[in-house]
A and B are shown apart, each in its own frame.
Chain A
Amino acid sequence: MRRVWFWWMAVACLSGSFAQAAEPMPVDWTQRRIDPALREGWAYRPLQTVAIPAVDSAGVVNPVDRFLAAAQSRAGVTPNPTVDRRALLRRLSFTLTGLPPAAEEVAAFVADDAPDAVDRCVDRLLASPHYGIRWARHWLDIARFAESHGYEHDYDRPTAHHYRDFVVQAWNADQPFDEFVRWQIAGDQMSPQDRLAWMATGFLAAGPHSTQITKREVERQRYDELDDMVMTISTALLGLNVSCARCHDHPYDPIPQADFYRLAAFFTRTVRSDVEVDFDPAGFRTAQAEFVRKHAAFEDAVARYEATELRTAYQQWRRTALPERLRSTWLLPSTMAVSSKENLVWTEQADGSWSATGPTPKHDEYRLRMQTSARRVTAIRLEALTDPSMTHGGPGRDADGNFALSHVEAFARVKGDHTPSAIPLARAVATFEQFEGSIAGVLDKRDETAWGVDPQLGRPHAAAFYFDKPVDLMPDDELEIRLAFRTRPAASIGRLRVSFSTMLNPAIEEATTPIPERVISALQQNPFALTENEWPAVTRWFAPQDAEWQRLDDLRRDHAATVPRPQMKTVFVATEGRPAIRLHTQAAEEYLPETCFLVRGDPANPLRVANPGVLQILDRGESAAVLNDRAALAKWLTDHEHGAGALLARVIVNRLWQHHFGTGLVATPDDFGTRGSLPSHPALLEWLAGELIRHHWQIKPIQRLLVTSTAFQRSSWLTTNSAANDPENQLFARWTSRRLEAEAIRDAMLVFADALDDRLDGPSEREPEHRRRSLYRFIKRSASDPWFASFDAPDGCRVQGRRPQTTSPAQMLALMNGEQTHALARIMAERRTTNADDPIRHFVQRVLQRDPSPIERESMVRLLDKSPTVEQWTDLCHVLLSLDEFVYLD
């Protein structure tokens, strides 16, 4: 704890105004309130009304330009001229979709004289599904999205991609940003009927999760997880790193330590879970109604046949049937009830058997209570039957489909008598006994021995238990059989049938199906005198022997097999009250029962329970009393009047600005605190945030505003004027050149090679050779892809609002020696024949959307012989794919 203490000391010395304002320090730090005046800081205060500046220069129409023009003229900076249509389309296309424009699109755009040419082009790009792919990637950078748990084993999360699909769909549909945020915090609580809302909670769950937790580390790991959620929410959404307040009050921003724990307390019981989500509930309802309607005809046909012709057939059969067919060694009792100590769900099947569903408990005891019209019972037979719900079809519920039956006990229960009397069992036989799992083990009263049937799995088995003496029963007496499974964990029988015999020493009769008691009695009667009450039992027993009934039943079954099923998919979510995903852990639960205020962040030093609460600096509501679940937090986060909504809007419009103009209006997109940059254009930032809310939080109108501004079209040249007056380009008098991101470089290459597979959604691609957009590559935390890493792609371990833009030899090596680049260059080269008249022009048009100059052409021709080989064309394409002019967006 020494290191934590140092922090504390350092904080005590360094703390800014807010700590000093609160002197002397209250004894109880969990009760500390911030100075309300601090809520008027530029980032924290309510949205201000901002007027768009009036500007002298004619033709400045876009409000963005009017804000900038005012600032530029104050600073005496002359803005750069605008670029040509080709350069503009490259910018628009890469910025909005992450893909290059086609040469034909450039030509059409250049030739489009209409005044709304740019607007139409922007509309087209914003409507492209590639728009969502592009902007989902920006969002995933700050959602620290990856598809593995991290840490020791770094197991995959095969169901985590649904979160990514949600983000793509949300951006493509222009889901209002406030709802987009609310769903990521509490979609499962707020719109549980909507699959996208469940998928959205992948945001909370996306962080690393230790795959091996020792007893000693249970608390620390859980607080680390809460910390990850708090840090991600606060930096990604609010540009405030609340995580800095885990061990002490935030050293720079007005965030008391207690605020960290209150925020974390919203997630006390939040765990990662895999839930089944219906992907098409409406379609399922329609299909189901249709099915029910059609299926009625098949049911009717069977019912009609059973009520008429089948009866005649039975009567004919009965007249000629052999007497032994009318008897049975083993009879199904007339009534039967099955229960399990561990609450399995039992369903009676048509053949008189019972099948179990539900989670398999470690140990269990089944009770079967039955009544019979027989007056004397000599033995019972237990059949363990197969069912496709079990491994190998069972008949047991353990991982191999085996079972371990530890004990069988039989009781007779006289009506009105609460204590049943035990029926001693004399002996038992079984159709098959596994090695060291003989039937004798069932009768020996020891838990260690049991009957099993390995390796004869996947087929039915039976055991007969003979009573020591025949048992005489009165009409209302009950027989009770108890089956205990205590020898091995989770090894009970999944489907069973119990029958009894009245004969002395009946054979076990491996292959016969017991006849129901009621049928036996009906069989004895005159077939022409059966009552309507007796018919159903007889029909049910007799029908399978009748060919026409079989045919009708097959038709019914075939149609039943077409029953529509809901499109259930397993989705990786964050939620409460569902089974948590557990990896190797010595913890009892995946969460701690309560979140506590920790003295200096030390889990060994909890002060008391922390109740959920929001950040004081952003709270101006009276709503504090009802803030108890994630849904309440989500509403507060997006409430621009009483909660954090104003800051939320500022932070997202700043991120949008950054992705269009290279640098944010606040240059530190993840830090709006006192250590971050001040806004270069506070009024513009404020106006844009207000504009977002006025557009009901829809993002696309803001982006349309940004890309149709003259500022977006300015050239990126650096002039002496702007270098002197605005070296950091805070006035946006020029456009900021940038290197394309790793994803954009690769995706563009796929486009150039005509090799892009533009499918959306679904599981990620694990092979680096895949041809889908790079968004769909599988990101494993422990194994970063060297190609993407060299171009500064994030590794999914932390919020990253701004990627570094390095220039390193590793990038050049990746371009020149990477197998993908070479393979795509090769594909381009192989397809040149379709453009045989001037392949060089064709290739340059593809990659750069312009014609080659004579000098350029000359340098490329040097790579080629008179009749160039495909390798030489490949070399040429490879050079084009490594060009500055392609890799940089100027």
Chain B
Amino acid sequence: MTALLSRREWLRRAGNGFGAMALSGMLAEEAGFAAESVRASHHPAAAQSIIWLFLNGGPSQIDTWDYKPELAKRHGQELRGLDPTTGFFPTAIGPVMTSPFAFRQYGECGHWASELFPHLAHHVDDMAFLHACWADSNNHSPALFQMNSGFTRQGMPCFGAWAAYGLGNVSHNLPSFVVMTDPWQRGLPKGHGQNWTSGFLPHPCQGTVLGAGPHALPYATMPEGMTPERRQQQRDALSTLNREYARQSGFEDRMVDRLATFELAMRMQSAAPEVIDLGSETADTQSLYGLNDPRCAPFGRQCLIARRLVERGVRCVQIFSGGTENEQSWDGHQNIETNHRRFASETDQPIAGLLADLKQRGLLDSTLVICNGEFGRLPIVQRGGSGRDHNPHAFTTWLAGGGIRGGVSFGETDELGFQGIQDRVSIPDLHATLLWQLGLNHERLTYRHQGRDFRLTDVSGRVIREIV
């Protein structure tokens, strides 16, 4: 009878170890994906984590960060040559509409900002602005899918999942990709969970939705009536029985992995309530995020939780501002002024607080903060109201920290902010840049599926070195 071999031994002998990038089925199967610690990056990483503030619905670039004085001059004039199918409503084409918001310059860089973000505007010297971003779709869900997964079709792995797949998990008790949805219970972004799916990547890469309250993580709460003592007894019995089975059957190594997974699960169970409990944060910190202002406290809590997650090693945190229905998100079709004032007032101070807090704790260097929506808005009014329709040709993304140069602008739109005319940035360019800052080369981060090596950036993508 030949000797039995442990699986770990088998893996070693088979030379089937975990390569720098390879997430073989073996790894996921045998070692417990989430339990696996850091994997090597392609190059030294500038950022350890990413916080993605997703202004769901498509904020208007020309009413926020892309100042266009020409709009006032041509207010009321027809926009000649406009393809009526550019926005969502081909029959609601109105004339050029000036921004209802006042603009002024901030910081040493003198970047123009509208009155919507009075707190955040003071951080322009830490922010890099990409003014000529563009998307493929003029429709929410395909555009959301593209911004999150690189493809307008649903079901492809999202950015956070790729990051988790590429880098593994440094947090020993939290998932590596955490999502927080609209804090006002206005619903999920269109397409729902497909916006943080792991697609064909292993399930542990999937975004975990962190809710509010005791059920913050799925299945992180003990069944009703269960006590910690009884749970401990169950744990003991389970490990004895599993060990006994392993001893008799010869599957000892798998048991080690499963036990590690079990311990991790138990730690997650206690880590989730701890991370969302903001009681240990000082009053100063809380007010920095606007927690004492009921208007911005819900989003402020999420920003503060994002910082706490990043501190605990979470790779990617994504927060969605805005819910499902059009006017319940940044989708200002009816009235751009009331819509954007409402959503900006919820988010301005929390985001400014997040940047300030990360900076004062020295975390901004290793944390990349990115903020945008799925597309921009047209310089014309949507007929029948005072809102703006979708515009896939131009929108602004800003980034800060994580090795991004502050106070710079890259890309330029035409005089009305309608479309990019110089240094346009595609969504794959954006993804390539984010991965690069995390130490990953977007062309080498691949996953074989149905005979094809898939990439987040598919067949394009360029790292925007001008801002790093």
Interface residues of A (CB under 8 A from B): 2-4, 6-7, 10, 78, 150-154, 208, 210-217, 220, 224, 231, 235, 240-241, 244, 252-253, 586, 668, 670-671, 673, 675-676, 717-724, 727-728, 737, 739, 781-784, 786-787, 789-790, 792, 795, 797-800, 804-814, 816-819, 822, 853, 855-856, 859-860, 862-863, 871-872, 875-876, 878-879, 882-885, 888, 890
Contact B268 A809 (CB under 8 A): yes
Given known contacts A675-B451, A720-B3, A817-B220, A151 and B141 CB-to-CB distance under 8 angstroms: yes
Contacts of B208 in A (CB 8 A): 810
B78 within 8 A of A: no
B414 within 8 A of A: no
CB under 8 Å from chain A, chain B span 115-153: 137-142, 152-153
Contact B237 A860 (CB under 8 A): yes
Contact A241 B452 (CB under 8 A): yes
Q: Give me 19 A-to-B residue pairs in the complex whose CB atoms sit less than 8 angstroms apart, sorted by A's number.
A: A150-B155, A152-B139, A210-B142, A719-B1, A728-B16, A782-B188, A782-B191, A782-B192, A783-B193, A797-B155, A807-B258, A808-B34, A810-B208, A853-B244, A859-B244, A860-B237, A871-B225, A876-B237, A884-B258
Given known contacts A675-B451, A807-B33, A808-B32, A814 and B25 CB-to-CB distance under 8 angstroms: no
B278 within 8 A of A: no
Contacts of B10 in A (CB 8 A): 718, 723, 727
The CA-CA distance from A789 to B199 in the complex, in Å, is 11
Tell which of A153, A253, A668, A718 has the most Cβ of chain B within 10 Å: A718
Q: B379: shortest Cβ distance to chain A, in Å? A: 18
Contacts of B458 in A (CB 8 A): 3, 7
The CA-CA distance from A784 to B209 in the complex, in Å, is 12
Query: B355-395, CB under 8 A of A: which get 1 and which 0?
Result: 00000000000000000000000000000000000000000
The CA-CA distance from A2 to B426 in the complex, in Å, is 10
The CA-CA distance from A822 to B6 in the complex, in Å, is 33
The CA-CA distance from A878 to B231 in the complex, in Å, is 11
Contacts of B193 in A (CB 8 A): 782-784
B279 within 8 A of A: no
Contact A804 B203 (CB under 8 A): yes
B5 within 8 A of A: yes
Contact A675 B452 (CB under 8 A): yes
Contacts of A214 in B (CB 8 A): 85, 88, 137-139
Partner of A809, one of B88, B264, B428: B264
Q: B265: shortest Cβ distance to chain A, in Å? A: 4
Given known contacts A215-B90, A719-B4, A885 and B28 CB-to-CB distance under 8 angstroms: no
B421 within 8 A of A: no
Contact A817 B222 (CB under 8 A): yes
Q: B112: shortest Cβ distance to chain A, in Å? A: 30
Contacts of A856 in B (CB 8 A): 240-241, 244
Contacts of B100 in A (CB 8 A): none
Contacts of B451 in A (CB 8 A): 235, 240-241, 244, 252-253, 668, 670-671, 673, 675-676
The 10 closest A-B pairs by CB, nearest first: A797-B155, A727-B14, A671-B451, A3-B460, A782-B192, A809-B265, A812-B265, A719-B2, A152-B141, A813-B219
Contact B139 A212 (CB under 8 A): yes
The CA-CA distance from A150 to B145 in the complex, in Å, is 12
Contacts of B246 in A (CB 8 A): 884
Partner of B204, one of A676, A797, A806: A806
Given known contacts A670-B450, A671-B450, A789-B203, A862 and B233 CB-to-CB distance under 8 angstroms: yes
B269 within 8 A of A: yes
Contact A150 B154 (CB under 8 A): yes
Tell which of B90, B190, B237 has the most Cβ of chain A within 10 Å: B237
B245 within 8 A of A: yes
Contacts A10-B459, A224-B153, A728-B14 supplied; 7 other A-B pairs, CB < 8 Å: A244-B451, A786-B219, A812-B264, A813-B218, A818-B219, A871-B230, A885-B242
Which candidate, B47-55, B249-257, B293-301, B313-321, is the interface stretch facing chain A?
A: B249-257
Contact B459 A875 (CB under 8 A): no
B206 within 8 A of A: yes
Q: B369: shortest Cβ distance to chain A, in Å? A: 27
B465 within 8 A of A: no
Partner of A859, one of B192, B240, B249, B459: B240
B200 within 8 A of A: yes
Contact A812 B261 (CB under 8 A): yes
Nearest to A224 among chain B residues (CB) is: B153
Query: B1-23, CB under 8 A of A: which get 1 and which 0?
Result: 11111110110011010000000
Contact A805 B261 (CB under 8 A): no
Partner of A737, one of B35, B194, B251: B251
Q: B443: shortest Cβ distance to chain A, in Å? A: 10
The CA-CA distance from A215 to B426 in the complex, in Å, is 22
B262 within 8 A of A: yes
Q: B462: shortest Cβ distance to chain A, in Å? A: 10
Given known contacts A782-B194, A812-B262, A883-B242, A718 and B7 CB-to-CB distance under 8 angstroms: yes
Contacts of B154 in A (CB 8 A): 150-151, 208, 781, 797
B396 within 8 A of A: no
Contacts of B251 in A (CB 8 A): 737, 884, 888, 890
The CA-CA distance from A10 to B458 in the complex, in Å, is 12
Contacts of A723 in B (CB 8 A): 5, 9-10, 13-14
Contacts of B426 in A (CB 8 A): 2-3
Contacts of A811 in B (CB 8 A): 261
The CA-CA distance from A812 to B255 in the complex, in Å, is 13
Given known contacts A150-B154, A668-B451, A806 and B269 CB-to-CB distance under 8 angstroms: no
Tell which of B5, B31, B217 has the most Cβ of chain A within 10 Å: B5
Contacts of A244 in B (CB 8 A): 451-452
Contact B28 A817 (CB under 8 A): no
Contacts of A671 in B (CB 8 A): 450-451
B221 within 8 A of A: yes
Q: A749: shortest Cβ distance to chain B, in Å? A: 14
CB under 8 Å from chain A, chain B span 410-441: 426, 428
Contacts of A675 in B (CB 8 A): 448, 451-452
The CA-CA distance from A7 to B458 in the complex, in Å, is 9
Q: A65: shortest Cβ distance to chain B, in Å? A: 20
Given known contacts A822-B223, A859-B240, A875 and B14 CB-to-CB distance under 8 angstroms: no
Contact B460 A151 (CB under 8 A): no
B94 within 8 A of A: no
Nearest to B220 among chain A residues (CB) is: A813
B86 within 8 A of A: yes
Contact B28 A807 (CB under 8 A): yes
B197 within 8 A of A: yes
Contact B32 A809 (CB under 8 A): yes
Given known contacts A215-B90, A809-B261, A859 and B268 CB-to-CB distance under 8 angstroms: no
